[in-house]
Structure 1
Amino acid sequence: MASKVSTIQRGGSRFYVNAETKEKVPGVTSVVGMLPKPFLQFWASKMTAELAVDSLPFVQQMAERDRDGAVDYLKGAARRYTKLRAGIGSDAHDLFERLIRGEYVPRRLHPDMQPYADNFRDFLDKVQPELLRAEDVAWSDTHKYAGSFDALLRVKDENGEMVTVIADWKTSKATYPDVALQMAAYGFADKLIDPEGNEEPMPHIDAAAVLHITADQWSFKPVRFDVEVFGHFLTLRKTFDWDREVSKTVIGKPYASGGASGMVTGTQRRGR
C-alpha cells in the first residue's frame, strides 16, 4: 500500500513523517546542520555592522524614537538577508524542476528569476541530462533519516559513458563541502518514495554532482560519493540524537545544593 510522506518542523529541525506508520525521522539537511559553523557568528556580526554604517542617519533617527526597535532592526540584518536568499532559492528550485521536466515556462520572467532560467536552460542544452526522478524522498529504514533530493539523472561522464548521478541544485554564493554529506545521505538511503507514496528500492547510483547556479554563471561539478563520506554523515546522525534526545537525559537532580537559600542534602530532598 502506498503511504505518503509529509514534513513537520520541531525544535528548529525538519522531520519526515510516514502517513501510515506515523514514523518520524529527521531530515538530511537538519542532520548535516549538526556540523559546527563558527564562521556564521562573524558573518552575522559583519552584516549588522555594515547595516549600521550604511544606514547610520536612519538608525540614529530610529534610536531616538525607539531604542529597542533600532536594536531589533540591526540584529535582524542577517536573518532578513537569509530569508530573502531562501525565497530566491525556493523560487529558483521550482523553476528548475519545471524546466527539467519539460513543462512550459515563459521565456520572459521576473527580472530576479530571468538569469536563473537562462543559465539553467544553458545547462540543459550543453549537458543534455536525462531525468529519472525529481523531488522524490530518499528514506533510510536502516539509519532512520529521510530527505528530498533535487534530481536523479543520466548524464555522460568524462569518458562519454552514460552514468546515473544523484544531483542537487545550489544557488548559494559558493559550493560548500557539506553538499557531499547531503548527496551521500540521499544516495545511500534504502528506498525512494514518490509524492503519491509509492516506494521502490534505491537504484544503483554511480556518482553525485552539484549544479552551482547563480544569476551570473553555472557550473556542473562532481561531488565525492563514497562510503567514507557517508560514514561522516552517520556520525552527524548520532550527533543529532545526542543533541535532540540523549543530552537531555544525562544530568540528574542534585545530590546536594547550596547558596543563599542554604544547602539541601539528598536526605532532606528525599524526605520532602
Structure 2
Amino acid sequence: MTKYVPPVTRRNYGRSHGYVDGNGQKMPGVTTILGDGLPKKALINWAANATAEFAVDNWDELAGLSLTERLKKLQGGRYGVTDKAKKRGTEVHAYGERLVKGEAVANVPAELRGHVEAYVRFLDAFQVEPVAVEFTVASYRFGYAGTADLIADLVDPQDPDGEPVRWLLDLKTNEKGIYGETALQLAAYRYADVYVEDGQPEKPMIAVERTGAIHITSSSAELIPTVSEEQQLKDFRYAQQIKRWDSESRELILPALDPPESTRLVAKVDWNEVSA
C-alpha cells in the first residue's frame, strides 16, 4: 500500500474536492472508495427507469429533434435527476452546519424550508451539542481521507435523564433512505487516525460511543443508528482493495505476442469439403 505522510489537506475544485498528504500526494476519499469498490445493482434499474421517465416527460421536445440530438438528450437525461439531488444535499449540509453551530439562517429557498425546519426540530429534540463540525479525517495506516459531518453529544432517547451520548453522524438527504454503505463510511471515519477542523493542526480522532445518520427530508429528520464497528472497517478495506484492483486491472492484460517463425502446418481446413 502507498505510504502517506501528515498533514492531510482537503482541496476544493469547484463543486468537487480531494485530499493530499504532506508530500502533495493524492489520498483516496472514503466516498470515492465506496463508489468504485461496491457493486451498485440498484443503479442499473434506476438508470433505465430514469431514462424512460425522461423520455415520457419530454416526448414532444424529443420528437422535434434529429436522431443524433435525441440520443444525446436521452443519454444525459438521468443526470438531471442526480444533479438536482446533489445540489439539494449540498445546500442542506450547508444550512445544517450553520444551524448546529447555533447560527441563524435566513432567506432559505422555499424548496428547502421543510428540510431546514425538520433539522431544527431534530437539534432541539435531541439537545444536540456539537463537538466537531464538517471536519477532515485521515488514516495514514490504511491510506484514505474523508470529510465527516458531525460529532455531537445527544440526549439518549432511551434514557433522557442520563448522560449525553457521543455520536459520529452523517447527514443524508436521499429520498430512498439510508443505504448499507453508510455503515462502512462511518466506520472509516470512526477509525481514522486524525482529524482536522477549521484549518487547525491535526489531532487524534475523537472517540465516539455510537454512529448513525440523520435522514433529513422535507417533513422529518430521523436519527438512524448504524453498526460501524471494526468489522465494518474491515469490510470498507475490502472495498478499498476492489477499487485498487479496478483502477489497476488494465495493467494485468499484457500486449499480444507475435507467433514464432515456422513452416510446420498445424491446422488444416478443406473449404471444398461438403458435409453429408
> Does TM, normalized by the shorter one, top 0.5?
yes
Q: Which whole-Å CA distance do the structure 2 matches of 1:69 and 1:226 have between them? A: 50
How far apart, in 1, do the equivalents of 2:92 and 2:261 lie?
63
Does 1:188 pair with 2:181?
A: no
C-alpha RMSD over aligned residues: 2.1
Provide the C-alpha distance between the structure 2 equivalents of 1:87 and 1:167, rounded to a whole number of angstroms: 20
Q: Match of 1:204, SS? A: coil
Question: Could you tell me which amino acid in structure 1 is paired with residue 259 of structure 2?
Answer: T
Give 5+ residue unaligned stretches, structure 1: 256-263
Equivalent residues, number: 250
For the structure 1 residues 267 and 189, does the alpha-carbon distance in structure 2 shift closer, same or farther, using more than 3 Å as the test? farther
Q: State the 1:194 CA deviation.
A: 2.1
Report how far residue 115 of structure 1 moved: 1.0
When Rg is computed on C-alpha atoms for both structures, the one with the higher figure is 2
Instruction: Please give the per-residue CA displacement for 1:60-97, whole angstroms capped at 9, x wherever unaligned.
Output: 122xxx22111111221211110111011101100000
Residues 33-86 of structure 1, C-alpha deviations (whole Å, 9 max, x = no match): 111012212111111112222332222122xxx221111112212111101110
Q: Residue type matched to 1:178 in 2? A: E
* CA deviations over 1:82-121 (Å, ceiling 9, x no partner): 0111011101100000110111212x52101211111111
Equivalent position SS for 1:149: strand
Identify the residue that residue 6 of structure 1 maps to in structure 2.
10
1:26 corresponds to:
28
Matched, 1:175 2:170: no
Please tell me the residue identity of whatever aligns with 2:181: D
The residue type equivalent to 2:154 in the other structure is V
Is the contact between residue 5 and residue 197 of structure 1 (CA under 8 Å) also seen in structure 2? no
Q: Which residue of 1 aligns with 2:124?
A: 125
Q: Is the 8 A contact 2:8 2:19 kept in 1?
A: no
Question: CA-to-partner distance for each residue in 1:150-170, whole Å, 9 max, x for gaps?
Answer: 001111222333221110000
**Equivalent position amino acid for 1:217 in 2:** S
2:224 corresponding residue in structure 1: 221
SS in 1 for 2:130: strand
Bigger mean CA offset, 194-203 vs 36-45: 194-203
**Do 1:155 and 1:163's aligned partners in 2 also have CA atoms closer than 8 Å?**
yes
Instruction: Name whichever of 79-88 and 49-58 sits farther off.
Output: 49-58
**Worse-superposed segment, 231-240 or 47-56:** 47-56
Q: Are the counterparts in 2 of residues 31 and 237 from structure 1 also a CA contact under 8 Å?
A: yes
Q: 2:70 matched to which residue of 1? A: 70
TM, length-normalised to structure 1? 0.86
Aligned to 2:215: 212
Closer, same or farther in 2 for the Cα pair 1:4/1:37, shift >3 Å? Answer: closer
SS, match of residue 151 in structure 2: strand
Q: Which runs of 5+ in 2 are unaligned?
A: 1-5, 263-276
Q: Deviations over 1:145-203 (max 9, x none)?
A: 01000001111222333221110000001111110010000001111112315101112
Tell me by how many angstroms 1:4 deviates: 6.0
Q: Is the 1:152–1:167 Cα contact (8 Å) retained in structure 2?
A: yes
- Number of the residue aligned with 2:99: 99
Query: Which residue matches 1:166?
Result: 168
Contact 2:8 2:138 in 1 (8 A): no
Report the equivalent of 2:151.
152
Do the aligned partners of 1:4 and 1:195 also contact (CA within 8 Å) in 2?
no
Identity of matched residues, %? 29
SS of aligned partner of 1:112: helix
- Quick check: 1:89–1:171 contact (8 Å CA) kept in 2? yes
- Give the letter for the 1:35 counterpart: L
Letter in 2 for 1:30: T
Equivalent-residue separation in structure 2 for 1:73 and 1:53 (angstroms): 12
Q: Residues 3 and 61 from structure 1, CA distance in 2 versus in 1: closer, same or farther, beyond 3 angstroms?
A: same
